[in-house]
Structure 1
Amino acid sequence: MIRQAITALFITAALASHAFASPELAKQKNCMACHAVATKMVGPAFNAIAAKYASDGGDAKAMAVKIQKGSKGTWGTMPMPPNPQVNDAEASALATWIMNQKWTP
Structure 2
Amino acid sequence: MGMKHLARAAALATGLGLAAFAPAAQADTEADLNKAGCMACHAKDKKLVGPAFKEIAAKNKGQANVVATLADKVRKGGKGVYGQIPMPPNPVEKIGDAELKMAVEWILKQ
Q: Could you list the per-position Cα deviations for residues 43-98 of structure 1 after superposition, in whole angstroms to 9, with x for gaps in the alignment?
A: 00000000001054471111111112212211111111111112211211111010
Report the aligned-residue RMSD: 2.3
Counterpart check, 1:61 vs 2:74: no
Unaligned runs of 5+ in 2: 1-20
Inter-partner Cα distance in structure 1 for 2:67 and 2:56: 11
Counterpart check, 1:73 vs 2:63: no
User: Among 43, 46, 51, which residue is 2:53 paired with?
Assistant: 46
**Identity between Structure 1 and Structure 2 (%):** 40
Letter in 2 for 1:48: E
Query: Which range moved further: 61-70 or 49-58?
Result: 49-58
Inter-partner Cα distance in structure 2 for 1:58 and 1:75: 20
Relative to its length, the structure with more helix (as a share) is 2
Unaligned runs of 5+ in 1: 1-13
Q: Is the 8 A contact 2:74 2:90 kept in 1?
A: yes
For these two proteins, the number of residue pairs brought into alignment is 87
Task: Normalising by structure 2, report the TM-score.
Answer: 0.69
Please tell me whether Structure 1 or Structure 2 has the larger radius of gyration of its CA atoms: 2
